[in-house]
Amino acid sequence: MRTKINVNLLKDFLSEEDFRQIEPFIVHASKLLMEKTGRGSEFTGWLHWPSETLQNKSLLNEISTCKDNIDTINPEYIVVVGIGGSYLGTKAVYDALKDNFAEGKNRKLLFAGHHLDPVYHRQLLDFLADKNFAVVVISKSGTTTEPAIAFRLLRNLLQKQHGDDSSRRIVAVTDAKKGALRKLADKEGLQTFVIDDDIGGRFSVFTPVGLIPLALAGFDITSMLEGAAEAEKELSTHFTLEDNMAMKYAAIRQLMYQKGKPIELQSTFYPALSTISEWWKQLFGESEGKENKGIFPASLTFTTDLHSLGQFVQDGLRVFFETFITVKELKSDIEIPLLDDDSDGLNYLAGKSLSFVNRKAESATQLAHSDGGVPVIEIEIPNISEKSISELLYFFEFSCAVSAYALNVNPFDQPGVEAYKKNMFALLGKKGFEDLRKELEQRLND
Ligand code: PA5
């Protein structure tokens, strides 16, 4: 793996003895994962998915045919409809790789169905009204309300634009048999891809969930799978903290938790990586936060947030540790010019690159936070590319499963997500929820 973990600044917080003591628990947690003997092991299909998908080329071939079909329509925009694990992985990779301003070689992805904001969806429909667009609708269960509503709205618009021809512009990613989306896709003859039963949403970025929209946008999904497969190979081979960085990261997290640090901040000086933090928050939050346990994942983007939450991190309640995601080589840089007029006082930086300044700000922040009592670790990726991002994502998936097992919770379920849904269905007047509706309305009106 080309991803590295740097623990130099942990020395004041963790000792060799701490690592020695926790190692057997982390080794045991890794065994539960690898031998598929832990809780929820029926959802570990993601573990060898990257290498298996590369070996058996059939999915890549199918995706390539799907892309050819969509290319004949040549849509300017692909609207990705999904929420949670059916949304964040694609958005994370897309935001990391896209050009912020230029119309690069990639197609633009737009997102819908990841919330219920009417203004956003009204604006999206108005924007798309005269545009050439296609839709990738993703829902493993096929019954999630937010994407179902967004898909209904977009399907309606496509119908108005293209009549019977609209189904050519839709790709559905869902369960092989179950759910309303599967029923609808079969009835309308939509092109579909399957999310396997043994892979949960937040572990699905390397399945059609992430691969389809990213391929349609023109990203190199073979490279993505190769990056993930490299991480898979390495993390499935060595089982010591020294040789397995996912285990090491899991060990650090658990030690921090035991030492009274129940919050992990993921920080980066590279805003392109901020959505990876959003994906990471779901991955770890939904996997670990249960049975009244778990490390709360939060994220910061620097230097922006140094001018807001920076004060709290430096000086506030000492409840967190901080993981920096950094990048070794950037694809472009910019030099600070020397000016005759030095009224802004910046000539001392003239000739230096902006990456130099950013890196110094990063080191300065790491040292300051560490001195302020925040244990700091750094994860470095070699560059921002399909391959490196995927290696990082797989590393987090592996580490998350190990960390959750070490915490003695099921990494692969999410029982808590149902609570709001039940209440929402009742308040919306869905059939079968009549009694709960009465009870909730009374509580709201009391
Ligand atoms: O990780 C998960 O399982 C969840 O976040 C789901 O991905 C999310 O709730 C969306 O579910 P679905 O894909 O069934 O629409």
Give the 3-state secondary structure of the chain: CCCEEECHHHCCCCCHHHHHHHHHHHHHHHHHHHCCCCCCHHHCCCCCHHHHHHHCCHHHHHHHHHHHHHHHHCCCEEEEECCHHHCHHHHHHHHHHCCCCCCCCCCEEEEECCCCCHHHHHHHHHHHCCCCEEEEEEECCCCCHHHHHHHHHHHHHHHHHHHHHHHHHEEEEECCCCCHHHHHHHHHCCEEEECCCCCCHHHCCCCHHHHHHHHHCCCCHHHHHHHHHHHHHHHCCCCCCCCCHHHHHHHHHHHHHHCCCCEEEEEECCHHHHHHHHHHHHHHHHHHCCCCCCCEEEEEECCHHHHCCHHHHHHCCCCEEEEEEEECCCCCCCECCCCCCCCCCCHHHCCCEHHHHHHHHHHHHHHHHHHCCCCEEEEEECCCCHHHHHHHHHHHHHHHHHHHHHCCCCCCCCHHHHHHHHHHHHHHCCCCCHHHHHHHHHHHHC
Ligand 1, atom 3, lies closest to the CA of 201
Ligand 1, atom 9, lies closest to the CA of 84
pLDDT band at 163 (very low <50, low <70, confident <90, very high): very high
Percentage with pLDDT > 70 across the chain: 100
What integer pLDDT is reported at residue 223 of this predicted model? 98
Distance 163 CA to ligand 1 centre (A): 30
What integer pLDDT is reported at residue 390 of this predicted model? 98
Distance 142 CA to ligand 1 centre (A): 9
Cβ 141 under 6 angstroms from ligand 1:
yes
Cβ 365 under 6 angstroms from ligand 1:
no
Cβ 85 under 6 angstroms from ligand 1:
yes
23 included as an active-site residue: no
- Rounded to an integer, the average pLDDT of 299-303 is 98
Tell me which of 86, 195, 417 to substitute to probe ligand 1's pocket, judged by most ligand atoms within 8 Å of the beta carbon: 86
108 included as an active-site residue: no
Percentage with pLDDT > 90 across the chain: 94
Cβ 386 under 6 angstroms from ligand 1:
no
ω into 303 cis (within 30 of 0): yes
State pTM to two decimals: 0.96
Q: Does the pLDDT of residue 221 top 90, yes or no?
A: yes
Cβ 248 under 6 angstroms from ligand 1:
no
Q: Does the pLDDT of residue 234 top 80, yes or no?
A: yes
- Rounded to an integer, the average pLDDT of 219-224 is 98
What integer pLDDT is reported at residue 110 of this predicted model? 98
Q: Which of 307, 331, 418, 431 is catalytic?
A: 307
Q: Which of 328, 421, 422, 438 is catalytic?
A: 421
What integer pLDDT is reported at residue 323 of this predicted model? 98
Domains parsed from the chain with CATH numbers: 4-38+236-406 (3.40.50.10490), 48-225 (3.40.50.10490)
What length does the chain have?
446
Residues 41-97 have pLDDT tens digits of: 999 999 999 999 999 999 999 999 999 999 999 999 999 999 999 999 999 999 999
Distance 143 CA to ligand 1 centre (A): 10
307 included as an active-site residue: yes
Cβ 147 under 6 angstroms from ligand 1:
yes
